C-alpha cells in the first residue's frame, strides 16, 4: 500500500527510529513539491533523502572514503551525510533546495527500508508535521497534525530515538557538523580518527538550521529549577509536573526519547508557559539543548516562518 501511494505521487507518513517522516518519491518533482505544500515548509529548506544503504546513496552523490566509512559504521541509524550531488543525479531539484549537495540517510526502521527497497529509489522525508511545530514520534501525532492532508500513515509505534538525526557535511576528509543529534561529534571523530568541525556560516545548508523550530503553542522557558506555578518538565533530580520528568535517572538518551512527546503533553495542559529543567551540555544533551533553544526562540506569525525541520 505504501509503495503504491508513493508511485502515484502521494505523500505519506512513514516511521523511522528518529521521528515520523512525511515521505514522497524523491525522483518526482511534483511529489516533493507536495511535501513543501502540506507542511507549509519554506522552499529554501532542503530535505533528507532516505536510502536503503550506501550503494543506493552512491547512485546520487559522490561518496568519499570518509563518507563511506561513516555510512558503514553508523548506517542504518540516525546519521545524515551531506555530499555533493552527482551531475547525473535524478533526485528532484526541490529536495536540495537549489544546493549542489544532497543529504542522505539510511533509517533504522525495517518497514521503511522495505518500502525504499521495493520502490528501488530514495524517498524524500522531513518530519511529518506542520512546519515549525513539534516533530511527531507517534503515528497519532502525525494524524493530529496532518489530518486530511495525507492518505496513509504507517504505524510502527513510538520512535526509539525521539529526536531528528545528526547531520554532517563531508567534503573529502573534512567533516562539518550541521545539526547535532543522538550521534555525537565526539563519537564520529573517535570512529574515523578525524576532527569534526563546527558550522561557520548562517546560510541554510541542511534541514533543522532555522532559528525557530520544534515549537509547541506555549512559550518555553529554559534552565528552570522551580515551576513557579507553570507546567514544568523535569530532568534527573529536578522534578517535573506529575509524570513529566525526561529522565529521573539523568539518562540523556531517555531524555531525547521523551522530549517531543513530553513537550506535546505539557502543551496540552497549559495556556501559559512551559518551564524546563537544565539539561547537561554533553553527548546527546547537546542535541536536546539545540532543539529546546530553537523551540524557545522568538516566532513570527508566518507558519512558513523561521521554522522547519
Is residue 307 scored above 60 in pLDDT?
Answer: no
Structural domains of the chain ordered from first start:
2-198 (3.90.870.10), 219-296 (no CATH)
DSSP state string for 50-61 = E-SSHHHHTTTB
pLDDT digits (tens, 9 = 90+) for 35-93: 999 999 999 999 999 999 999 999 999 999 999 999 999 999 999 999 999 999 999 99
So what's the pLDDT on residue 228?
Answer: 85
In this prediction, residue 210 has a pLDDT band, given cuts at 50, 70 and 90, of confident
Question: How many whole angstroms separate alpha carbon 187 and alpha carbon 190?
Answer: 5
pLDDT digits (tens, 9 = 90+) for 88-101: 999 999 999 999 99
Contact 124, 47 (CB under 8 A): yes
So what's the pLDDT on residue 138?
Answer: 97
So what's the pLDDT on residue 242?
Answer: 85
SS3 96: helix
So what's the pLDDT on residue 196?
Answer: 98
pLDDT digits (tens, 9 = 90+) for 141-158: 999 999 889 999 999 999
Is residue 4 scored above 80 in pLDDT?
Answer: yes
pLDDT digits (tens, 9 = 90+) for 264-293: 999 999 989 999 999 999 999 999 999 999
So what's the pLDDT on residue 27?
Answer: 98
Bridge partners of 233? 276
So what's the pLDDT on residue 304?
Answer: 31
Is residue 171 scored above 90 in pLDDT?
Answer: yes
Which has more confidence, 229 or 178?
Answer: 178
For 273, the enclosing helix (H) or strand (E) is strand 273-276
Burial class (CB in 10 A: 0-12, 13-18, 19+), 171: middle
- Please state, for a pLDDT cut of 90, what percent of the chain lies above it: 87
Considering the entire predicted model, what is its pTM? 0.93
So what's the pLDDT on residue 300?
Answer: 58
Edge-to-edge order in the sheet of strand 12-14: 12-14, 21-25, 123-124, 48-50, 101-105, 79-84, 166-171, 174-179, 196-198
pLDDT digits (tens, 9 = 90+) for 217-258: 999 999 999 988 899 999 999 999 989 999 999 999 999 999
Question: How many whole angstroms separate alpha carbon 231 and alpha carbon 115?
Answer: 40
So what's the pLDDT on residue 305?
Answer: 31
SS3 203: coil
Question: How many whole angstroms separate alpha carbon 188 and alpha carbon 200?
Answer: 19
Amino acid at each position: 500500500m505504501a509503495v503504491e501511494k508513493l508511485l502515484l505521487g502521494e505523500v505519506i507518513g512513514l516511521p523511522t527510529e528518529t521521528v515520523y517522516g512525511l515521505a514522497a518519491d524523491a525522483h518526482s518533482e511534483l511529489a516533493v513539491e507536495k511535501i513543501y505544500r502540506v507542511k507549509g515548509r519554506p522552499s529554501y529548506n532542503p530535505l533528507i533523502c532516505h536510502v536503503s544503504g550506501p550503494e543506493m546513496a552512491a547512485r546520487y552523490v559522490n561518496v568519499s572514503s570518509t563518507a563511506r566509512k561513516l555510512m558503514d559504521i553508523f548506517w542504518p541509524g540516525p546519521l545524515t551525510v551531506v555530499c555533493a550531488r552527482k551531475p547525473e543525479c535524478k533526485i528532484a531539484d526541490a529536495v536540495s533546495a537549489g544546493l549542489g549537495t544532497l543529504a542522505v540517510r539510511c533509517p533504522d526502521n525495517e518497514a521503511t527500508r522495505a518500502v525504499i527497497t521495493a520502490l528501488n529509489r530514495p524517498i524524500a522525508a522531513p518530519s511529518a508535521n506542520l512546519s515549525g511545530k513539534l516533530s511527531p514520534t507517534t503515528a497519532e501525532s502525525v494524524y493530529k497534525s496532518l489530518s486530511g492532508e495525507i492518505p496513509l500513515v504507517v504505524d510502527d509505534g513510538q520512535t526509539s530515538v525521539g529526536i531528528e538525526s545528526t547531520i554532517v557535511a563531508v567534503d573529502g576528509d573534512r567533516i562539518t557538523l550541521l545539526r547535532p543529534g543522538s550521534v555525537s561529534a565526539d563519537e564520529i571523530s573517535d570512529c574515523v580518527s578525524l576532527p569534526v568541525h563546527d558550522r561557520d556560516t548562517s546560510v541554510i545548508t541542511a534541514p533543522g538550521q532555522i532559528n525557530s523550530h520544534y515549537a509547541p503553542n506555549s512559550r518555553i522557558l529554559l534552565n528552570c529549577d522551580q515551576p513557579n506555578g507553570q507546567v514544568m518538565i523535569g530532568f534527573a533530580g529536578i522534578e517535573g509536573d506529575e509524570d513529566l520528568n525526561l529522565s529521573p535517572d539523568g539518562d540523556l538518551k531517555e531524555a531525547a526519547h521523551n522530549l517531543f512527546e513530553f513537550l506535546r503533553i505539557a502543551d496540552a495542559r497549559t495556556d501559559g508557559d512551559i518551564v524546563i529543567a537544565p539539561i547537561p551540555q554533553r553527548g546527546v544533551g547537546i542535541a536536546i539543548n539545540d532543539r529546546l533553544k530553537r523551540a524557545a526562540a522568538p516566532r513570527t506569525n508566518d507558519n512558513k516562518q523561521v521554522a522547519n525541520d
